[in-house]
Amino acid sequence: MLAILMMADRCSAGVLDWTSDSSTDYDGDGCKDDDAEDGDDDNDGVDDSNDDCAVGVLEWISDSSTDHDSDGCKDDNAEDTDDDNDGVNDVDSTGAVLDFCSTGVINWDASSGVDHDSDGCLDGDIISSGSISVSSANG
């Protein structure tokens, strides 16, 4: 109890009868996780409902430079092995680069035939206004 009094409790008028510890209050903000009181358990700026790493790395904020695919998992960290969420991991277990466009186009499926050379880069030049068009020529 003393601990929670000593730190800033952002929910000082919040849920009663619980004790803030690492299992109930992952980010230590005094707001009970797994409850409407804390909609962002790891305090990275991505709501739990949209956060693939809802109890992930602490003390960072998701933005375009730290979280390319905005999945709530910190890029450049073991937490996010696929920074652009295309299904091609950034590196393999030895650290060798697998995705040569790891901060490229996000949320496309590299296994759907649009990455013929499997370099993690969407084939052709695509992209504008967020839609993907694929040339049906030369497969």
| Binding of Ca ion by 115 (CB under 5 A) | no
Contacting range for Ca ion; rule: CB under 5 A; set: 1-9, 98-106, 111-119, 123-131: 98-106
Tracing tokens 């998701």 back to the chain, one arrives at: 62
Tracing tokens 């919040």 back to the chain, one arrives at: 14
- For 5, 90, 110, the CA distances from 8, given in Å and listed in that order, are 7, 38, 45
Tokens of 34: 């797994």
Minimum CB distance to Ca ion smaller for 49 or for 131:
49
3-state secondary structure of 34: coil
Q: How many residues bind Ca ion (CB under 5 A)?
A: 22
Rule CB under 5 A: choose which of 42, 108, 114, 122 binds Ca ion. 42
| Binding of Ca ion by 38 (CB under 5 A) | yes
CA angle 33, 30, 66 (to 5 degrees): 70
Instruction: State the residues that interact with Ca ion by CB under 5 A.
Output: 25, 27, 29, 31, 33, 38, 40, 42, 44, 46, 51, 67, 69, 71, 73, 75, 80, 82, 84, 86, 88, 99
